[in-house]
Structure 1
């Protein structure tokens, strides 16, 4: 797979498709590496009762407030999957992990024995987790994934959200390429904003350098971007599928049933 970087004029070469392998039950990550995990959030994902049992109180409370059942189920599976993934690096039970949250709500591990930076994104029936060793500005990572589908007024959104050179590239592209270009630019913007935890509508601090951004296709119909101060080439990423396991629901576990 080739790396994808945003050009100065906002154009981007076509990203290639990620090739996934089954994620190991225990993981280590070397300095400078990037691991990307894929989580199913549809009915093929983690069994819901078990997934809910892995969440912390804050996550269970948020899930309970979600009235739209499909969104709730995707949220539960995505965050349970995140805990399952992190547990494989920390050698700790998924339900025992503790998080602290930044000003924009970005989670980080609290008191972890192994320093890890991670970021989660969900869209459609997928969630992705990008993970790097270390903590702090040079290690912080952001990931965004979008399900590519028709969207109205992309030019108006671009004018409000994108840099002028990206807007020009979008407006000059053939009509049948604009939606793909829009989502590439959007995922780059989101991943960039998530990499330093400032959120989408907070400006970059004065003098701060923008991160490197690389694109990939996690599966047909989706586009993803990863941002970090420095990134290894896409062929050097380790890309893992979190496969569902056959779980027995713990005694007394809550249900998020219909």
Structure 2
């Protein structure tokens, strides 16, 4: 009998070819196969039998399938988001937008929130979980993503405060919001991405023309009318786009400041009137 400890060691060795965190990946997959949290698996009997599903999960990861798609979940801010192919996997970098919003609004929070390009609902639902008095609208052009967002709102008990609808950025929206959140595509069209991203996540949520600025060019003229007096927009950027993207929003008449992520890289533009 192969023990869980031996299976984890063998999987770690295999996964080193496709992952920068092979041991962590192996542990997460083992826990998923067992139907428990990773912490519970680690304090459990590592000399116990290996769950039958584990080998297939490792094979999926060897094909570069992201861990979040395999397990069907990803932690973001204070919530767990259900994720699947068809929507972008939420990343810790995007939490910078929520940090910026908390710094601006404090515990009182915004009343109305707009999330442009909501994907599986990560930013909007994290904000609604942060501020129980708020309601929000999530917009996306992908029906698959909106299905995931709607399901996540139900799972998190936020469906009564979250509305989702298909749309093209701010077009057709005639309301101004206290907080606008937006993580648009910003990767250059010829950029080389890891296989985990390029082969699995939706290209429409990643790429934005030769310089990665195409969607900022569309968003900039729309943003002033979407921000209510006293409100802000928090827009994610690539680490080298603060100047170029910021100039587009300044040209639209907005004040622009930059917030860094937890690794001290520019990650968020804060826009205000």
TM-score, normalised relative to structure 1: 0.27
Q: Which has the higher contact order (CA 8 A, sep 6+)?
A: 1
TM-score, normalised relative to structure 2: 0.26
| Max Rg structure | 2
